[in-house]
């Protein structure tokens, strides 16, 4: 039995949900998102709540039950409150600048990296004296926000010895001892 899939999704005020031919459309103050869903599931809007129900007890339908409930919940949360991701550039000389929707990163390579950020994401870069540069991204689309954050992180993953690289704010890195530990 899917524990996640059975939970109802409460629709906050200002959010409008429509279900049409295997597609859920969620519209709110921050934006509009659509998500197609499997025909083995049934999505119903009743009494300011969204219920996701499955037709059979097969393993495939059980897994999709929880998945689509979570995706729809993220859509409702995103169009009402939005999501925020912060990343930190740890390393000497690492910099980040934002010009419109283009993110310019200096991550210790021989060249700067220019990354075009989708228009659904608002991005800012901040450098304070004595602290690492931080990149803050906000969006109503959680999936897109996670993809862009993962792409930025993949440009220079944090290494385990000094911790240099792009990491999420608050992330705990597993550190290794260097050569001096062998003595």
Judgement on whether residues 50 and 22 belong to the same structural domain of the protein? yes
pLDDT digits (tens, 9 = 90+) for 7-35: 999 999 999 999 998 899 999 999 999 99
Q: H/E/C letters for each residue in the chain? A: CCCCCCCCEECCCCCEEEEECCEEEEECCCCEEEEECCCCEEEEEECCEEEEEECCCCHHHHHHHHHHHHHHHHHHHHHHCCEEEEEEEECCCCEEEEECCEEEEECCCCCCEEEECCCCCEEEEECCCCCCCEEEEEECCHHHHHHHHHHHHHCCCCCCCCCCEEEECCCCCCCCCCHHHHC
pLDDT digits (tens, 9 = 90+) for 102-118: 999 999 999 999 999 99
Of all residues in the chain, what percent carry a pLDDT higher than 90? 73
Judgement on whether residues 42 and 68 belong to the same structural domain of the protein? yes
Evaluate whether residue 174 is within a structural domain. Answer: no
Judgement on whether residues 66 and 122 belong to the same structural domain of the protein? no
Q: Is the pLDDT of residue 179 over 70?
A: yes
Judgement on whether residues 60 and 114 belong to the same structural domain of the protein? no
The last residue of one of the domains, among 64, 80, 96, is: 80
The last residue of one of the domains, among 80, 106, 133, is: 80
**CATH number reported for the structural domain that contains residue 72 in this entry:** 3.90.930.12
Evaluate whether residue 160 is within a structural domain. Answer: yes
Domain count of the fold of the chain: 2
């Amino acid at each position: 039995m899917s524990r996640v899939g059975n939970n109802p999704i409460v629709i906050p005020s200002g959010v409008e949900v429509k279900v049409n031919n295997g597609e859920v459309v969620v519209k709110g103050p921050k934006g509009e998102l659509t998500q197609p869903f499997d025909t083995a599931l049934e999505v119903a809007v009743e009494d300011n709540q969204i219920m996701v129900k499955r037709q059979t007890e097969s393993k495939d339908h059980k897994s999709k039950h929880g998945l689509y409930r979570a995706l729809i919940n993220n859509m409702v949360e995103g169009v009402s409150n939005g999501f925020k991701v912060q990343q930190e550039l740890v390393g000497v000389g690492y910099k980040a600048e934002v010009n419109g929707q283009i993110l310019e990163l200096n991550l210790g390579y021989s060249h700067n990296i220019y990354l075009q950020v989708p228009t659904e994401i608002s991005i800012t870069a901040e450098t304070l004296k004595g602290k690492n540069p931080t990149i803050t991204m906000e969006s109503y689309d959680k999936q897109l926000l996670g993809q862009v954050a993962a792409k930025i992180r993949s440009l220079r993953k944090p290494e385990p010895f000094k911790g240099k690289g792009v990491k999420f704010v608050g992330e705990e890195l597993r550190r290794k001892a260097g050569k001096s530990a062998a003595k």
